[in-house]
Copies of this chain bind each other. A is one copy, B any other.
């Protein structure tokens, strides 16, 4: 069946329920631009991510899972600023108007859009090699946006959830990893029982919106771990003009990661792997107890893994206080 661009938009992105009314949306899909009303006292946070087939996700990946991941990684950027999701726009480039794919894709966007009351308000669709560009719009109180640049000496460094699963998932899904050939499952039979866990970790990362927005005033800096802990923490210390000391034995891992990977590869996955979409944040010492308590109330796991120090660069220490060699780099797109 022949479908025009407008029919596709109507059928899969309006009628599917992705364009719903929400506070502040004056006008959404169907005009030359969407019109948004920003409440007084709020800042607008905007962030864009592009996902390209065969670069960020495997060829012929499930459309619904892909959609979920695409929106999740964008919402994770809002979590990094402690901003509440507001609405999103979608630039979709598609090889053909495959109805089944479009149906799966739009349905895959729906759960997170609904959960965060974040409707689709516009975008563009075109024929071409598959890629997905999403821009999220978020709102935060003027005095509550958490930037990368606020870390000060003495602050404790925390991460949410567990690290390394994103990179291990790549190996589990049989995808190329930039961590090298030695980065592989310890035990294939073990890994297969955790396959679904890692698939979920990769396609359904949970954006830490609630943790970030509820704890915003307790954080001095914040970032989401998309390129690997070392690379992302480096952004914080560079922007804040400080150094960091990491206690690598404190890094939290999932049960699956503990079962499937050697200690060395697990550490590599956490430090350089990326794709975890957990938060890495800094908290002043006097607020740590409050932060940990609040996180517990929210059902979120947070772990203190180090401290901001004077100087520059990141020193990684093991349990015995010995400097750990952490070669390899975090994910670089070029």
A residues with a Cβ closer than 8 A to B are 2-5, 8, 26-27, 30-38, 40, 43-56, 77-78, 80-81, 83, 89-93, 96-97, 121-129, 131, 133, 135-138, 140, 142, 145, 147-149, 222-224, 239, 332-334
Contact = CB atoms under 8 A, between A and B. Distances in A.
Contact of A129 (B122, B123, B129): B129
B89 A135 contact: yes
A46 B89 contact: yes
B50 A97 contact: no
B50 A45 contact: no
Contacts of A149: 31
30 contacts: A4-B333, A5-B333, A8-B334, A27-B147, A30-B239, A31-B80, A32-B80, A32-B222, A32-B224, A33-B77, A33-B83, A33-B136, A35-B43, A35-B81, A36-B43, A36-B45, A37-B43, A37-B142, A46-B137, A48-B124, A49-B91, A50-B93, A50-B133, A52-B93, A53-B128, A56-B126, A91-B91, A91-B133, A128-B131, A131-B131
Shortest Cβ-Cβ A-B pairs, 9 listed: A52-B128, A32-B80, A33-B47, A129-B129, A38-B38, A33-B45, A133-B133, A91-B133, A50-B91
A46 B90 CA distance: 12
Contacts of A140: 35
State the oligomeric state as a number of copies.
Answer: 2
A212 B55 CA distance: 41
A47 B91 contact: no
Given A4-B332, A34-B45, A48-B90, 11 more contacts: A5-B333, A26-B145, A31-B149, A33-B83, A33-B138, A36-B45, A36-B46, A50-B124, A51-B126, A52-B126, A124-B133
Contact of A91 (B48, B125, B145): B48
Contacts of A48: 89-91, 122-124, 133, 135
Contact of A93 (B89, B97, B131, B332): B131
Contacts of A44: 35-38, 44
A236 to B, nearest CB: 10
A300 to B, nearest CB: 18
A71 to B, nearest CB: 14
